[in-house]
Structure 1
Amino acid sequence: MSIIVQNISKSYNKAKAVEAITFEVKEGELFGLIGPDGAGKTTIFRILTTLLLANEGSAIVAGFDVIKDYKAIRDSVGYMPGKFSLYQDLSVEENLTFFATIFGTTIEENYDLIKDIYIQIEPFKTRRAGVLSGGMKQKLALCCALIHKPKVLFLDEPTTGVDPVSRKEFWEMLKRLQQKGITILVSTPYMDEAALCDRIALLQKGSILKIDSPENIIKNYDKVIYDVRTQNMHQLILDLKNYPSQYSVYAFGEYIHYIDKSAGFNPKDLAAYLEKNKHSEIEINISRPTIEDVFMDL
């Protein structure tokens, strides 16, 4: 195993950030921590990259203990925090050279690892990092995290605030890095990115709700979800929440996702109820569940 986490807990004063977290990441795996802001993702990352001490529990990263062998871990991992943390006044090339020097290497020595990413920002190598676009900053930060050829790569919400095209490109880069044998632990609040991981841990309020592959999580979901839409979406949510057998109601894109707790549920009965409440243009169709649906239910 590349990462082994056993019963990690961390509190800030009396507030629990993470509680009894346990999971393992295999070598060469792309593993995702999925959850909203405040779920505990960044705290876990800081503990595993030796920037923070846990109150309880233990963790092994790349074969090293996070407390006893913290210096060895810092040499063996790459870390890209959620906030852009490179030197804004240095150029692209100066930032990369600086980080290579810190780790006792050179850009040339590990250029094969960063080549696919670096060629996209090389035309701007003399430009100061602080004036780069969000997508370019992201690529530069990834290059700096990879320049010493780490065994494990930690990426804390790397695509937050980045445009959809850059997000897609970034995940394609991660897949290529994974093929080179690097273990990747990535966190994201975007549920659609969960499907791009080999396995995921769904996090909420410092606890793990479920760990499995995205495919298995969806396959084992046992509830029927309906896409519901009418001409008055705001009123629709209120009326669906008042339906006697409703189990769950929440907005999902252009539809409302509705789940009924009755085994004998008939969509025609729901349509009749909505007509009675003066809805028109009623659509009720079975929907395919997603990671977000499972997360909302959990």
Structure 2
Amino acid sequence: MSGSKLMAALSGFTVLGLYSGMAMSSKYNLPEPQTPIAQQIYDQHMMALWICLVIFIGVFGVMGYSIIKHRKSVGYKAANFHHSTAIEFIWTTIPILILVAMSWPATKTVIEMKDTSEADVTIKATGYQWMWGYDYIQGEGEGISFYSQLSTPQDQIRNEATKGQDYLLEVNNRVVVPTGKKIRILMTANDVIHAWWVPALGVKQDAIPGYIRDAWFKVEKPGVYRGQCAELCGKEHGFMPIVVEVMEQEKYTQWVAEMQKSASAGVVNTALVEQSSGKN
């Protein structure tokens, strides 16, 4: 190999290496995975892209070389043949092997995604036009219920104020879960089809009226992870974000106690109002 060709090859590998290193933080790529399922999805996504890149370089490289090297102007004449059994066998076998290599880990991931058994906390998410309702129905926090709506100020939406960092991605009530626990999400809808999607958690599931779908995730690192409804559901489809806040266990226990205390106070206040109205 000549010096120029060697330099070109090294440059190509360097660019590919840099791309691979920057891919995780690129806004054009999937967000940094925060769960085992999300990590598997990311890895398989990157593997598929690399396979496509190799095929692209191989096919167009051979085609470009053939066009330039065997052009008529340098004296080459077109070959006259019908078929080659060996070549046909090769170009049938190789794609089959590639598809099998890609489908094997993908199938394992899909099976793991569907295993929602032995959850520590179960939360029901109900889609409405255009907000989410959450009910903690099993595990620590059982009995907590609230609605989660877009909290972006209207003046930002109307372009009358500078848009915030989390424009159209902040809510008034976040879904709060503990670290290190398996969280099962039951999804349904009250009106039309919605979809509960949080990319960093590797969860995307349709919420269908009259049906219960489920998914799960387990996050080890505290943080705030954002998603959106991913099914066109009406004129304000883009205004029903999802925000999941993952807390350390101690903080989560405190949050549960505060929510349950607030709920109890609300019940007491309602009872007092009804009692007062009855006397009048």
More strand by share: 1
Structure exhibiting the larger radius of gyration computed from Cα positions: 2
TM-score (norm 1): 0.25
Normalized per residue, which structure has more helix? 2
TM score, norm. by length of structure 2: 0.26
Structure having greater relative contact order (Cα 8 Å, sep ≥ 6): 1
